[in-house]
């Protein structure tokens, strides 16, 4: 499948570029160039005040870079040996990277969340390939099922609160409104530069130096193809060797839950017409209702929404 092309590309590289350390998968310079290209593509794709055609071009560039990268890796793999790297690896990896790319570059937050779900699914697939089925399932259930749903809830909450539905338009008007801060990204060049610098370094380390990082004298244990259900093994391991950590994890979750509740407390006042959720800006309303503002006097307490704690010092305005 175009292996001739790839072979020629490789020989071209071998001729033109200076030799890399033995054991490298890819020449570091090549990594740099690819990262640069991908970076340019990302920058173009990030939300910004330019025409969408540019974004499309950027996407294409990023895509192309990714494909080249993958091809090179695959080619190298073909040289060395396969070792359980079937086509599913490529599919899942590609989906994951694509999803991540769209998370970062899409204008609408809801779409970002959804693309994140895609990434999670792809990761789960990768986990399955790596014989971590329980993790895969856990990922899907916890991440995609709980965390991302929460994210989407909050996105909708925020969108609804800031732009009331414009009259005459569809009910989804608030959600379809694209806010300014979503359309313009901050310092895309610098951020991309730095991010890709780091990524390039990581890749370089992985591809170029990892042979030295993990010395060849230390070999991983031979894994036989026959494996008991890893879920069972994992369960046994967790409950026996990592029991304390497990319990601690539960404790963390409990505390987090309590913290979340405390942070987002709101004051509800029961009036004749029923319980009323107080907003802090409704000072006149509160005064009219004849409710006194109480908020305690501890200057360090987390403010409860709807109360007025006089002891809390206002943050000095600039």
Partner 1 sequence: MELLALQHYLVVGAILFGLGLIGFMTRRNLIVMFLCTELMFQGVAINLIAFSRYWADFRGQTFTIMLLVIAAAEASLALGMVVLLFRQKGTLDAEAWRELRG
Partner 2 sequence: MFDLIAVQYSWLIPLLPLVGAVIAGFFGAKLLKQQSHWPIWIGVGLSALLSLSLLLGIADHQAHQPLTNGEYHPAPSDNAISKKWFTWILAGGDSSVYHTYGAEGHDVAKADGTKNPLAPFIVEAGAWIDQLTVVMLAVVTGIGLLITIFAAGYMKGETGYFRFFAYLGLFIFAMVCLVMANNFVMLYLGWEGVGLCSYLLIGYYYEKPAAREAAKKAFLVNRIGDFGFALGIMLTYLAFGTVSYFGNGAGTFTGALELATVTSHMSHFQSQAMAWIPFLLMLGAFGKSAQFPLYVWLPDAMEGPTPVSALIHAATMVTAGVYMIVRCGTLFVGNAPAMTTVAIVGAFTAIFAATIALRQFDLKKVFAYSTISQLGFMFVAVGVLAPVAGIFHLITHAFFKALLFLSSGVVMHAMAGELDMRKFSGLKKMLPKTRWLMLIGCLALSGCPFVSGFFSKDEIVGAAWAHSKPLGAVMLFTAFLTAYYTFRLYFQVFEGPEVLPSAPESADGHSSADSHDHGHHDEHHDHEPAIMVLPLIALAIGALLAGYLNWPGEQLGHFLHNSPSIALSQEVANKTYGDSNVNQVSFGGRETEEHSTNYLMIVSGLIALSGIGLAYQMHLKNRTAPEKLARQFSGITRLLEGKYWVDEVYQNAIVEPIRRLGRAFFMVDQIVINGLVWMLGFIPRACGFTLRQTTQRGYLQGYAATMIFGIAIILMIIFW
Which listed option, partner 2, partner 1, none, makes contact with residue 25 (CB within 5 to 8 Å by class)?
partner 1
Which listed option, partner 2, partner 1, none, makes contact with residue 9 (CB within 5 to 8 Å by class)?
none
Minimum distance between the CB of residue 194 and partner 1, rounded to whole angstroms?
Answer: 7
Minimum distance between the CB of residue 9 and partner 1, rounded to whole angstroms?
Answer: 19
The CA distance from 174 to 236, in Å, is: 49
Which listed option, partner 2, partner 1, none, makes contact with residue 84 (CB within 5 to 8 Å by class)?
partner 1
Q: Which is nearer to partner 1, 241 or 298 (CB)?
A: 241
Minimum distance between the CB of residue 208 and partner 2, rounded to whole angstroms?
Answer: 8
Q: Which is nearer to partner 1, 19 or 161 (CB)?
A: 161
Q: Which is nearer to partner 2, 114 or 211 (CB)?
A: 211
> Do 148 and 117 form a contact (C-beta atoms < 8 A)?
yes
Nearest to 285 by CA among 297, 274, 296, 293: 293
Q: Which residues contact 119 (CB under 8 A, 6 or more apart)?
A: 95, 96, 99, 100, 103
Q: Which is nearer to partner 2, 5 or 205 (CB)?
A: 205
Interaxial angle between packed helices 188-204 and 28-45, expressed in degrees from 0 to 180 and rounded to the nearest 10 = 150
Minimum distance between the CB of residue 43 and partner 1, rounded to whole angstroms?
Answer: 9
Minimum distance between the CB of residue 219 and partner 2, rounded to whole angstroms?
Answer: 23
Q: Which is nearer to partner 1, 264 or 294 (CB)?
A: 264
Q: Which residues contact 190 (CB under 8 A, 6 or more apart)?
A: none
Q: What residue ranges bind partner 2 (CB under 8 A)?
A: 186-187, 190-191, 194-195, 197-198, 201-202, 204-205, 209
Contacts of residues 40-43 at CB distance under 8 Å and 24 or more positions apart, as own/partner, are: 41/65, 42/101, 42/104, 42/105, 42/192, 42/196, 43/188, 43/189, 43/192
């Amino acid at each position: 499948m175009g292996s001739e092309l790839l072979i020629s590309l490789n020989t071209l590289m071998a001729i033109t570029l200076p030799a890399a350390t033995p054991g490298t998968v890819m020449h570091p310079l090549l990594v740099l160039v690819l990262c640069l290209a991908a970076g340019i593509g990302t920058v173009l794709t990030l939300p910004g005040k330019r025409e969408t055609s540019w974004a499309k071009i950027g996407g294409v560039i990023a895509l192309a870079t990714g494909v080249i990268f993958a091809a090179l890796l695959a080619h190298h793999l073909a040289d060395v040996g396969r070792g359980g790297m079937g086509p599913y690896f490529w599919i899942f990896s590609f989906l994951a990277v694509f999803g991540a790319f769209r998370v970062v570059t899409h204008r609408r937050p809801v779409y970002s969340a959804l693309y994140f779900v895609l990434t999670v699914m792809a990761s789960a697939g990768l986990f399955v390939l790596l014989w971590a089925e329980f993790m895969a399932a856990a990922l899907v259930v916890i991440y995609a099922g709980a965390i991302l749903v929460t994210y989407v809830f909050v996105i909708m909450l925020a969108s609804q609160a800031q732009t009331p539905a414009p009259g005459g338009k569809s009910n989804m008007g608030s959600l379809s409104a694209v806010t300014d801060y979503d359309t313009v990204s901050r310092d895309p060049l610098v951020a991309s530069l730095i991010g890709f610098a780091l990524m390039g370094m990581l890749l370089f380390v992985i591809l170029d130096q990892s042979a030295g990082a993990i010395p060849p004298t230390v070999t991983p244990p031979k894994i036989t193809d026959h494996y008991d259900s890893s879920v069972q093994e994992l369960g046994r391991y967790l409950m026996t060797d990592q029991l304390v950590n497990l319990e601690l994890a539960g404790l963390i979750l409990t505390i987090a839950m309590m913290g979340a509740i405390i942070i987002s407390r709101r004051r509800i006042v029961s009036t004749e017409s029923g319980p009323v959720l107080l907003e802090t800006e409704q000072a006149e309303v509160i005064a009219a209702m004849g409710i006194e503002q109480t908020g305690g006097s501890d200057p360090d307490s987390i403010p409860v929404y709807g109360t007025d704690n006089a002891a809390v010092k206002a943050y000095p305005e600039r």
